[in-house]
């Protein structure tokens, strides 16, 4: 049982972006990375999933039931927060989206601060969202995405604005969250080495379709990189761990 994505097609101005795309079931507790060239449809798929909840609920299901927005934590590309509130106030507000009561949930501030500590950004708690750097905003966006403990986490290039240290910090937290909450995670990752290190499975998209799906250590090789990215590379073994190196 898990997340199923079936038969998704998207066209813009007569150009086919996704062509009857299906992804094998993402089981609870699994992190799956979408890889592929720019324009392959990775971000389009993530955005389309939230639209299909309303338009065609049978296309995206969780445990064989239509996926609902309340089950999703979503971190978009280039996450920015325009509200002039502090980070901890943002998380408290997010906890109360859809709650009709005028009273905040018990221990909301404590829960928000505890999460910031877990993610490793407690020092940002009292910083205004409008003053966050791009990388800080991305880390706060992750906290915002998981504050209500969603069953499905959708991350669109979560590491794109981050330095190496924060890339690892974010992905380590996502891995812990996935295991602790038995969640399904689907994320777009451009760094193949991060995909290898942190993904249970990888879905390579090419020309609007699923090119290959499987365990990254088994399917990411020189031929795949040539076929999907048109890049000459070498995959070397480092302590039984494959590492992708670009060849010039």
35-74: pLDDT as tens digits: 999 989 999 999 888 877 777 778 899 999 999 888 999 9
- Residue 26's DSSP bridge partners are 3
- pLDDT tens per residue across span 120-162: 999 999 999 999 999 999 999 999 999 999 999 999 999 998 9
Question: What pLDDT score does 13 carry?
Answer: 83
Nearest Cα to Cα of residue 81 among 93, 71, 69: 93
47, 36 Cβ separation under 8 angstroms: no
CATH of 2-79+148-215, one of 3.30.230.70, 3.40.50.300, 3.30.1600.10, 3.90.230.10: 3.40.50.300
Instruction: For 97-182, list the strands marked E by DSSP.
Output: 152-156
Return the DSSP state at 128.
B
Q: What is the pLDDT of residue 102?
A: 46
How far is it, in rounded angstroms, from Cα 158 to Cα 142?
A: 8
Give 103's pLDDT tier (boundaries 50, 70, 90).
low
pTM of this prediction?
Answer: 0.92
Measure the CA–CA gap between 113 and 124, rounded to whole angstroms. 10
Please state the domain extents for the chain.
2-79+148-215, 82-131
Please name the residues in contact with 117: beta carbons below 8 A apart, sequence gap of 6 or more: none
Place of tokens 């993530």: 46
């Amino acid at each position: 049982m898990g997340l199923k994505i079936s038969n998704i097609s998207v066209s813009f101005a007569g150009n086919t972006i996704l062509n009857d795309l299906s992804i094998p079931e993402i089981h609870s507790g699994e992190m799956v990375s979408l890889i592929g060239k720019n324009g392959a449809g990775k971000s389009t798929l993530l955005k389309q999933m939230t639209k299909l909840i309303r338009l065609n609920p049978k296309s995206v299901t969780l445990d064989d039931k239509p996926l609902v927005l309340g089950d999703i934590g979503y971190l978009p590309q280039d996450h920015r927060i325009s509200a002039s509130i502090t980070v901890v106030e943002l998380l408290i507000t997010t906890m109360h989206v859809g709650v009709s009561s005028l009273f905040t949930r018990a221990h909301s501030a404590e829960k928000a601060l505890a999460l910031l500590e877990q993610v490793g950004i407690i020092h940002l708690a009292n910083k205004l969202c409008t003053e966050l750097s791009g990388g800080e905003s991305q880390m706060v966006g992750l906290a915002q995405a998981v504050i209500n403990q969603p069953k499905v986490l959708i991350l669109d290039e979560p590491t794109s604005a981050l330095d190496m240290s924060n890339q690892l910090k974010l992905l380590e937290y996502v891995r812990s969250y996935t295991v602790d909450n038995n969640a399904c995670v689907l994320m777009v990752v451009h760094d193949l080495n991060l995909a290898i290190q942190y993904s249970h499975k990888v879905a390579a998209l090419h020309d609007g379709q699923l090119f290959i799906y499987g365990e990254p250590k088994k399917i990411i090789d020189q031929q795949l990189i040539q076929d999907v990215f048109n890049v000459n590379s070498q995959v070397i073994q480092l302590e039984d761990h494959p590492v992708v190196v670009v060849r010039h």
